[in-house]
A and B are shown apart, each in its own frame.
Chain A
């Protein structure tokens, strides 16, 4: 019983971070309808950016070992958002948005090849620049825990770093949903996603909306990556491990639903942690996809299928 609650707690903690990671991708897919295969590698860049901001750019000396990593992680968000903005402007915009009308298959083939190419360049470029040695953003909090309880003679231990990761993820998620549902920018992003042509008639610059979504999506996933890096070591090819989980999360949540992507990621985190109760650790990912298939079998449109609510 204690094991069950311990796994549940661990699942909720990691699930919130996975949720944030998926939301970054979900935002890009939801608004642009572009499948970004390089998204895991943008996250990898986010991890290294946070790592170097912490160790080399002075964040460690100014903020110390406990707060410093989280400051560096949050700063990596805007850095990667800028990078995403630049990548969209120079590359992605040529095969998406208003340019798709003149491309075969609405530009999907070109988008596929382009994002796969970006992924390869980032992975191998990362190998040259960062090397193949595992890196991690360790804080003293990574190896200590809060004890909850005891309730009915059992205590639950919450890893401090992961708990803060969850709090940061939830806070960002709340900010993002306020941005999407309440602000003029958020509403115009949703309008551009719903009907790009009609959005143009309203005076919304659809390409600019796409650029905003792409930059935001990269920034959000970069922060999620940094948060994961407080507990998991990483390397230049780490994106591959996570991009599959991101897609599973986005599909589970319902393609195009931004809030749905968060719950999709949360589900994956929960399944991953709970599966350790009955399965060997090596089968964690197999368990994720078994549950994924099961959910998709009964609910092919995902939790928040289209047309219900796309926020």
Chain B
């Protein structure tokens, strides 16, 4: 579904990603883990078109993504749940979800999508008329996820959904994501610093360090790897 090959990108003179290759198959749940500054968020921004790459290719669903203007990429079926949530603070919860459904498929499936989103994330239903800017971090994160789901995406990209949240809230959000995946079979690409949880729930994982993919494999291989165990899992 998503195939990234030899991708290099950066800001001005400073390269952040160096020859990164990643593949996400249809229906897969892929996690990218690694320390701060490894280039995980830059990778997502390059997929969404906010950062322009200096080399490499990104093929999504058979389309050369780099030839598609950034705002059009959502219409192809990519939903980006950005780092730090980035909900629209002066819009209500419902309006935020409507913004998620700007795509054609989102508009078409609006009724059924909204019912499912409310079922998965009931707090959004309770607070549907509240301004997003007045909600707590965890609620905003759930809204950001709901907003991504509202577009009927083929691929849901989640950038550190646990960032800045209390551990129990982060656990709850992980549990919701796994439940959403179980029920919908949605293809997901997750970037996370909570390596243990991320590797546990994903089918396949990549370890990104200083802009390079240093390790990849299915979740059992990665969790059994000595370097991962020492560096990330504290074992």
Contacts and interface: CB of A to CB of B under 8 A. Distances in A.
Contacts of B102: 184, 188, 202-204
B103 interface: yes
23 contacts: A98-B70, A184-B98, A187-B99, A188-B99, A188-B102, A190-B90, A190-B95, A191-B95, A194-B88, A195-B86, A195-B88, A197-B50, A199-B88, A201-B74, A201-B80, A201-B86, A202-B102, A203-B71, A203-B103, A204-B99, A204-B102, A306-B90, A307-B90
Given A200-B50, A309-B131, A311-B90, 13 more contacts: A187-B99, A190-B91, A191-B99, A194-B88, A195-B88, A197-B50, A197-B86, A198-B86, A200-B49, A201-B74, A203-B102, A205-B71, A306-B90
B151 interface: yes
A198 B71 contact: no
B89 to A, nearest CB: 6
Nearest to B133: A307
Contacts of B91: 187, 190-191, 194
B48 interface: yes
Contacts of A311: 90
A198 B74 contact: no
Interface string B71-91: 111110001101000111111
Interface of B: 48-50, 69-75, 79-80, 82, 86-91, 95, 98-100, 102-103, 131, 133, 147, 151
Given A191-B91, A197-B86, A202 B147 contact: yes
A188 B151 CA distance: 14
A200 B99 CA distance: 10
Given A184-B98, A203-B71, A203-B72, A307 B86 contact: no
Contacts of A201: 48, 74, 79-80, 82, 86
A210 interface: no
Contacts of A235: none
A197 B82 contact: yes
Interface string A273-311: 000000000000000000000000000000000110111
A309 B87 CA distance: 14
Task: Give 9 closest A-B pairs by Cβ, nearest first.
Answer: A203-B74, A310-B90, A198-B86, A194-B88, A201-B80, A205-B71, A203-B102, A191-B99, A191-B88
Contacts of B86: 195, 197-198, 201
A206 B99 contact: no
Contact of B88 (A184, A190, A306): A190
B82 A309 contact: no
Contacts of B79: 201
Nearest to A206: B71
A204 B82 CA distance: 15
Given A200-B48, A200-B50, A202-B102, A194 B151 contact: no
Q: Which of A188, A193, A194, A311 has the most CB of B within 10 A?
A: A194
A137 to B, nearest CB: 38
Interface in A152-197: 184, 187-188, 190-191, 193-195, 197
A191 B74 CA distance: 15
Specify which of B95, B102, B147 lies most central, judged by the most chain A CB atoms within 10 Å of its CB: B102
A306 B50 CA distance: 26
A103 to B, nearest CB: 13
A98 B70 CA distance: 10
Nearest to B81: A201
B71 A309 contact: no
B98 A187 contact: yes
Among B49, B70, B71, B82, chain A packs the most CB atoms within 10 A around the CB of: B71
A197 B133 CA distance: 16
A205 B50 CA distance: 12
A309 B99 contact: no
A184 to B, nearest CB: 7
A202 B99 contact: yes
Interface in A201-218: 201-206
Given A194-B90, A197-B86, A202 B95 contact: no
Which of A184, A194, A200, A203 has the most chain B CB atoms closer than 10 A to its own CB?
Answer: A203
Contacts of A310: 90
A308 B147 CA distance: 21
A199 B99 contact: yes
A301 B184 CA distance: 45
Contacts of B151: 202-203
A11 to B, nearest CB: 30
Nearest to A201: B80
B104 to A, nearest CB: 9
Interface in A98-142: 98
Contacts of B95: 187, 190-191
B118 to A, nearest CB: 19
A206 B74 CA distance: 13
Nearest to B88: A194
A306 B90 CA distance: 8
